[in-house]
Amino acid sequence: METTLYNKNGRPIAYISLENGNAIYLWDGHAVCYIEDEKIYGWKGKHIGWFVNNVIYDTSGYRVGFTQETCPSVTYIESVKYVKYVQYVKYVKYVPYVRPIFSTGYSKIGLKEFLEQDRV
């Protein structure tokens, strides 16, 4: 099963693949990060944010991405996804940040840039 992730403008940017260890893939088929216990980690092990109640938050607690149910805008139709590339081996995880108080404000970074920040 896959869950599409949208930016604040309702554009589909990535998706979560439950069959592949909660990996988050971009539409081009590359796995860029993964979710473990509500925490989002890049492949190099850096803790980059949280996925709580179908909303992606950055390490400062600002909203970055959404599922269709939580998106503040009308969502666009998804385009065809590319075939998934083989995942890289995950690096050892860094110690996660302390969970901040989540805000209703938006992060200054876009969803794609956020997801790619610790990409292999």
User: Dihedral sign, CA of 81, 42, 115, 120?
Assistant: negative
Residue 120 has pLDDT above 90, yes or no: no
Strand partners of residue 33: 24, 42
Which domain range does residue 72 map to?
2-116
Give the containing element (helix H, strand E) for 113: helix 111-116
pLDDT at 82: 81
Provide the pLDDT confidence category of residue 11 given band limits of 50, 70 and 90.
very high
How much is the pTM? Answer: 0.93
**pLDDT tens string 30-81:** 999 999 999 999 999 999 999 999 999 999 999 999 999 999 999 999 988 8
Average pLDDT, the chain: 94
Tally of domains within the chain: 1
pLDDT at 44: 93
Provide the pLDDT confidence category of residue 7 given band limits of 50, 70 and 90.
very high
Tell me the average pLDDT across 91-116.
95
The tokens describing 29, both together, are 């088929």
Residues contacting 39, CB < 8 A, separation 6+: 47, 49, 50, 51, 96
Distance of alpha carbon 49 from the chain centroid: 8
For 12, phi then psi, to 5°, come to -70, 125
Residues contacting 45, CB < 8 A, separation 6+: 90, 91, 92, 93, 94, 118
Share of the chain residues as helix, strand and coil, in percent rounded to the nearest 5: 10, 35, 60
pLDDT at 73: 95
pLDDT at 86: 81
